[in-house]
Amino acid sequence: MTDETTNPSTGYSRIAIVTGASSGIGEATARKFIANGFGVVGNARNAEKLSTLEKELGQAFCGLPGDASDCAILDQLFAAAIERFGKPADIVVANAGRGLGGSVKDADLSKFEEILKLNVTGTLDLLQKAARNMADGQQLNFPKRAADIVIVGSVVGRHISPFSAVYGATKFAVHALAEGLRRELGPKGIRVSLVEPGLVVSGFQEAAGYSDDLVQNFHDKFGPLLHGDDVANAIHFIVAQPPHVHISDIVVRPTRQDYP
């Protein structure tokens, strides 16, 4: 089993950074980690929600508001882990991202630059910082302790989706980054894992501009749909493995979702 014995100097067995932590998969993952004795630094743009989570979850949760595509904010996440919990983060969950409805022919490209910056450029920046912060220490710690970088992708980064092909292209890019980083960091004792959720009930669909009729069709055709907790369970399962066991890729779909 993973060495998750509580560190008496910090009170927490592991320290995690989670982006997009104010709702959906990110919030559920933060809660799951804290319930299992982890300390969490959570990032999101919604400062009010992060403050609410700090009050509810206590000292185990440190909220840091800001844009996950902002390089300075990402640097602050790693500094906050050490300042709050007394040791570097050994889990980073790259979850922040936004959707964009529409096919290649019909997608609103005026919104694409923002989506590309957050979903791809911001994720790449976070992955680079995580790799650089973890690499030296983990070469000394492995195989006594685990270090994990978990990237939340999507099934539409594996299969072309007719209703979100442009958004899916950003996830294809992220999947390529995940595999490239896995090959780079695995020999250093760092696990890089890709989680590809299917349809999850959250504010994602509204933010992506999906119509009410399309969302209702998802429920009718594929429901019951996933909730954030379902994906958080998969993420926790990945990081809870013994340090020498690496789950590099996991797809989580509603049972009735045949495609994508």
To the query of whether residue 167 is one of the catalytic residues in this protein, the response is yes
Helices assigned H by DSSP within 18-155: 24-35, 47-57, 71-85, 112-116, 123-141
Q: How far apart are CA 250 and CA 107, in angstroms?
A: 28
Which pair of structure tokens corresponds to residue 226? 């996933």
Contact criterion met (CB below 8 Å) for 146 and 191: yes
For 224, residues 6+ apart whose C-beta sits below 8 A from its C-beta are 254
Q: How far apart are CA 76 and CA 188, in angstroms?
A: 24
Q: Checking phi first, is residue 58 left (phi over 0); if not, alpha (psi -120 to 50) or beta?
A: left
Q: How far apart are CA 81 and CA 135, in angstroms?
A: 16
- Whether a cis peptide bond, with omega within 30° of 0, leads into 224 is yes
Q: How far apart are CA 167 and CA 144, in angstroms?
A: 39
Helix (H, G, I), strand (E, B) or coil at 218: helix
Indicate the Cα dihedral angle 212, 218, 219, 224, nearest 10°.
-150
Beta strands 39-44 and 148-152: pairing type? unpaired
For 189, residues 6+ apart whose C-beta sits below 8 A from its C-beta are 138, 139, 141, 142, 143, 147, 243
Identified catalytic residue from 12, 167, 210, 259: 167
- What amino acid positions are annotated as catalytic residues? 167
